[in-house]
């Protein structure tokens, strides 16, 4: 009986093992079967001048990720197509999609209308593609041109200087069109053709096509625009006007990219911050035998310049209820796979008149999640313009407590408060008044000044006194929640501090637009919104960040704020003539990296 029971237990154990192995192998097979699978959608774009363009949208099977770069591919030609198996606009796009990038391969108007089209009309086609990706949420866009497409994307950037485009890929870059045709046919034929085209235009009426052979025909107008002595179709001339990083690749046996051509283009691109070239031995115009290497090198180059595919992020709308029954909504940012609750979690709070979807919340929440951290962008009763008009500082504490409890219920016991501008004040006031042991550190993005002092300096003593008296009278009359305090509030200037030199535009003008209760709570002489006082009342580690183009940082306020902190504190100042503004535009990646480095050091 004893051994029979043991045998039955062993048999049951082996069944469990076999079942587990089956489930594991099934998962692996399904994963391998779907890895690298590409979705290809045939869509259409409409340009600003009303032209409908076919396009192929290619992206990974798990969907488009707007937080990773997207690539616009422009085919060769004239008469080319993005669906040809020999087109880099197809085979490179497919490989990039398999690696996680979103790709949009556009069939330009040059595919079917080149005989009648001025060259620069294709600029509108490229813009339609960039606009579509930007409208879908992509902020890092790369242009890729194959053959004649390289000139098309170059013309687009020279004409638009589009800041949404972060880099350019040139595959088998085209020759300088007018110069090349002139060299092939000789001076006599070239100028005879130019004269014939010009005469045809001057005579009007039915104008004969200019036939260049091999199906390349043009109306006299389009011929002069593409190949005339004043044409803008020199790739060399256009490359010189591009200030984006560029990758140029060609086969060593490409007859249209002679030896030394890539290096010549690189030397001409003197305003580009980075140009890399790659030649493929044994490959011709269509990269025969080198297509996989081309795709791999492209992915490696994009990664090297900071345009790698980012880890996916999951965003979820979440809700809490404060102690008085008021409900609030936030956005939870989590890594798409395996979030680690043992890591610190970030509580993101927007600035003055901001809300959950604005201020630094979104870009910081996305970047933190890409680095493996959970964060939540939170709403409270002073969120948004309507919230600051009627909200009071002291009422926000119960809202922040509800959000901290929400994160604790999810298993997060190490919280980091992050406040942008007034968001920092809301957090500081909460931490100074509440004994919340969940928050282990605090980050301040452009911490705001002491609000009563700031208002008095901006409005002047007389106007400030009148506003305070009016607000106090309204409160006494029971109208504190309905009487609007409406006075000019110009942005004051502060004496320069050589430790933190500022580079600012002339100060702008603003207004007070708060009900009496709110005005006194934030701006009144007895307000708790004295940030340097409140920060002295908390003793957790503090990191403050500011920039030289932020008026709130004048007079060395970042130093003053940090020195006032009650616990260990340090600051990072993004200075110089191109330093950070109040919104930190252009510094998002740097700030995220600095915050994570600091957190890893102090917690």
In 3-state terms, what secondary structure has residue 484? strand
What is the pairing mode between strands 38-46 and 52-60?
antiparallel
Asked whether residue 514 is assigned to any structural domain, the reply reads no
Same domain, 163 and 64: yes
Residue 11 in this model has a pLDDT that exceeds 80: no
**Alpha-helix residue ranges (DSSP H) falling in 99-217:** 110-113, 122-135, 148-160, 177-203
CA distance 57 to 105: 7
| Contact by Cβ (8 Å): 53, 124 | no
Report how far apart, in Å, the C-alpha atoms of 421 and of each of 185, 347, 449, 458, 598 are: 66, 14, 9, 18, 19
φ/ψ of residue 415, rounded to 5: -105, 145
Residue 27 in this model has a pLDDT that exceeds 80: no
The share of the chain scoring above pLDDT 90, in percent, equals 86
3-class SS letters over 283-322:
CCCCCCCCHHHHHHHHHHHHHHCCCCCCCCEEEEEEEEEC
Same domain, 420 and 559: yes
Number of C-beta neighbours around residue 241 at 10 A: 16
Same domain, 197 and 249: no
Asked whether residue 30 is assigned to any structural domain, the reply reads no
Position 36 confidence tier, pLDDT thresholds 50, 70, 90: low
φ/ψ of residue 413, rounded to 5: -110, 0
Give the DSSP letter of residue 490: P
The predicted structure's pLDDT at residue 5: 36
CA distance 438 to 417: 10
| Contact by Cβ (8 Å): 232, 119 | yes
Cα angle 495, 496, 498 (rounded to 5 degrees) comes to: 145
pLDDT in tens, 444-474: 999 999 999 999 999 999 999 999 999 999 9
Block residue for tokens 């934030």: 522
Domain edge (last residue) among 281, 304, 327: 304
CA distance 386 to 435: 29
Q: Which residues span the domain enclosing 147?
A: 38-176+234-304
Same domain, 147 and 68: yes
Asked whether residue 273 is assigned to any structural domain, the reply reads yes
Asked whether residue 229 is assigned to any structural domain, the reply reads no
φ/ψ of residue 345, rounded to 5: -110, 145
**What residues does 484 pair with on adjacent strands?**
515
Domain edge (last residue) among 272, 304, 336: 304
In 3-state terms, what secondary structure has residue 450? coil
In 3-state terms, what secondary structure has residue 335? strand
* Residue of 369, 499, 474, 435 lying closest to 67 (CA atoms): 369
Asked whether residue 33 is assigned to any structural domain, the reply reads no
Burial of 501 (0-12, 13-18, 19+ CB in 10 A): middle
Asked whether residue 489 is assigned to any structural domain, the reply reads no
Same domain, 258 and 317: no
Burial of 12 (0-12, 13-18, 19+ CB in 10 A): exposed
Block residue for tokens 């493929």: 280
Give the DSSP letter of residue 494: -
Give the DSSP letter of residue 105: E
Residue 590 in this model has a pLDDT that exceeds 50: yes
Residue 1 in this model has a pLDDT that exceeds 60: no
The predicted structure's pLDDT at residue 341: 85
pLDDT in tens, 116-152: 899 999 999 999 999 999 999 999 999 999 999 999 9
Same domain, 99 and 69: yes
The predicted structure's pLDDT at residue 370: 95
Half-sphere exposure of 24 (CA within 13 A, CB side): 6
Tokens at 343, concatenated = 């890591």
Tokens at 358, concatenated = 């604005």
Block residue for tokens 């069939």: 107
CATH number of the domain enclosing 151: 3.40.50.1820
Same domain, 107 and 206: no
CA distance 527 to 468: 11
Same domain, 241 and 339: no
Find the distance separating the first CA and the last CA of the chain, reported in whole Å: 58
Q: Which long-range contacts (CB under 8 A, 24 or more apart) does 189-192 make?
A: none
Report how far apart, in Å, the C-alpha atoms of 405 and of each of 18, 471, 585 are: 43, 35, 32
Same domain, 247 and 194: no
Residue 348 in this model has a pLDDT that exceeds 70: yes
* Residue of 297, 361, 312 lying closest to 332 (CA atoms): 361
Asked whether residue 260 is assigned to any structural domain, the reply reads yes
pTM over 0.85: no
Position 507 confidence tier, pLDDT thresholds 50, 70, 90: confident
Same domain, 396 and 540: yes
Listed in sequence order, the residues at least 6 apart from 309 whose beta carbon sits closer than 8 Å to its beta carbon are 65, 68, 69, 99, 100, 101
Asked whether residue 318 is assigned to any structural domain, the reply reads yes
Same domain, 268 and 378: no
The share of the chain scoring above pLDDT 70, in percent, equals 94
Report how far apart, in Å, the C-alpha atoms of 53 and of each of 48, 64, 171 are: 11, 21, 22
| Contact by Cβ (8 Å): 471, 516 | yes
pLDDT in tens, 190-232: 999 999 999 988 888 667 899 998 888 999 999 999 999 999 9
Number of H helices, E strands in the chain: 20, 20
Listed in sequence order, the residues at least 6 apart from 235 whose beta carbon sits closer than 8 Å to its beta carbon are 150, 151, 154, 173, 174, 175, 176, 177, 265
The predicted structure's pLDDT at residue 122: 92
| Counted domains in the chain | 3
Largest CA distance in the chain: 112
Query: How large is the C-alpha radius of gyration of the chain?
Result: 31
Report how far apart, in Å, the C-alpha atoms of 545 and of each of 443, 453, 498 are: 8, 21, 17
């Amino acid at each position: 009986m004893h051994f029979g029971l043991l045998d039955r237990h062993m048999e049951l154990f082996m069944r469990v093992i076999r079942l587990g192995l089956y489930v594991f192998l099934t998962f692996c097979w399904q994963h391998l079967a779907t890895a690298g699978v590409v979705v290809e959608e045939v869509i259409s774009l409409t340009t600003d001048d009303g032209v409908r363009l076919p396009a192929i949208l290619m992206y990974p099977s798990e969907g488009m990720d707007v937080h990773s770069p997207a690539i616009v591919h422009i085919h060769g030609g004239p008469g080319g197509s993005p669906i040809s198996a020999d087109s880099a606009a197809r085979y490179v796009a497919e490989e990039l999609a398999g690696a996680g990038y979103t790709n949009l391969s556009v069939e330009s108007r040059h595919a079917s209308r080149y005989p009648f089209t001025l060259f620069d009309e294709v600029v509108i086609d490229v813009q339609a593609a960039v606009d579509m990706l930007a409208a879908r949420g992509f902020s890092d866009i790369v242009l890729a041109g194959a053959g004649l497409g390289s000139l098309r994307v170059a013309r687009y950037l020279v004409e638009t200087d589009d800041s949404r485009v972060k880099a350019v890929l040139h595959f088998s870059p085209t020759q300088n069109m007018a110069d090349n045709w002139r060299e092939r046919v000789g001076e006599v034929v070239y100028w005879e053709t130019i004269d014939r085209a010009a005469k045809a235009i001057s005579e009007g009426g039915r104008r004969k096509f200019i036939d260049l052979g091999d199906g390349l025909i043009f109306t006299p107008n389009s011929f002069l625009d593409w190949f005339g002595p004043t044409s803008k179709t020199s790739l060399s001339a256009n490359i010189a006007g591009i200030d984006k990083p560029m990758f140029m690749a060609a086969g060593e046996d490409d007859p249209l990219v002679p030896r030394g051509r890539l290096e010549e283009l690189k030397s001409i691109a003197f305003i580009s911050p980075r140009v890399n070239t790659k030649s493929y031995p044994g490959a011709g115009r269509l990269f025969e035998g080198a297509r996989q290497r081309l795709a791999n090198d492209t992915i490696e180059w994009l990664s090297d310049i900071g345009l790698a595919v980012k880890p996916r992020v999951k965003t979820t709308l979440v809700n809490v209820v404060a102690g008085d029954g008021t409900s609030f909504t936030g956005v939870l940012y989590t890594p798409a796979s395996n979030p680690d609750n043992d890591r610190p979690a970030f509580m993101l709070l927007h600035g003055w008149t901001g809300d959950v979807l604005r201020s630094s919340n979104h870009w910081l929440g996305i970047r933190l999640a890409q680095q493996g951290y959970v964060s939540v962008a939170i709403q409270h009763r002073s969120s948004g313009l309507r919230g600051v008009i009627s909200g009071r500082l002291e009422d926000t504490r119960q809202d922040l407590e509800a959000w901290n409890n929400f994160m604790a219920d999810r298993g997060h016991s190490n919280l980091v408060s992050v406040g942008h501008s007034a968001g920092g004040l809301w957090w500081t006031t909460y931490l100074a008044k509440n004994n919340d042991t969940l928050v282990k550190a605090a980050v301040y993005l452009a911490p705001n000044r002491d609000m009563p002092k700031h208002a008095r300096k901006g409005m002047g003593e007389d106007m400030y006194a009148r506003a305070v008296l009016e607000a106090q009278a309204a409160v006494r009359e029971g109208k504190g929640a309905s009487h609007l305090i409406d006075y000019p509030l110009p942005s004051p200037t502060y004496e320069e501090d050589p430790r933190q030199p500022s580079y600012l535009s002339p100060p702008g003008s603003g207004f007070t637009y708060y009900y009496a209760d709110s005005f006194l709570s934030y701006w009144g002489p007895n307000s708790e919104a004295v940030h340097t006082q409140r920060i002295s009342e908390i003793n957790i580690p503090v990191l403050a960040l500011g920039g030289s183009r932020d008026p709130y940082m004048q007079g060395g306020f970042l130093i003053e704020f940090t020195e006032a902190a009650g616990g260990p504190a340090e600051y990072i100042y993004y200075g110089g003539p191109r330093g950070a503004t109040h919104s930190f535009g252009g510094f998002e990646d740097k700030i995220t990296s600095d915050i994570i480095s600091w957190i890893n050091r102090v917690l």
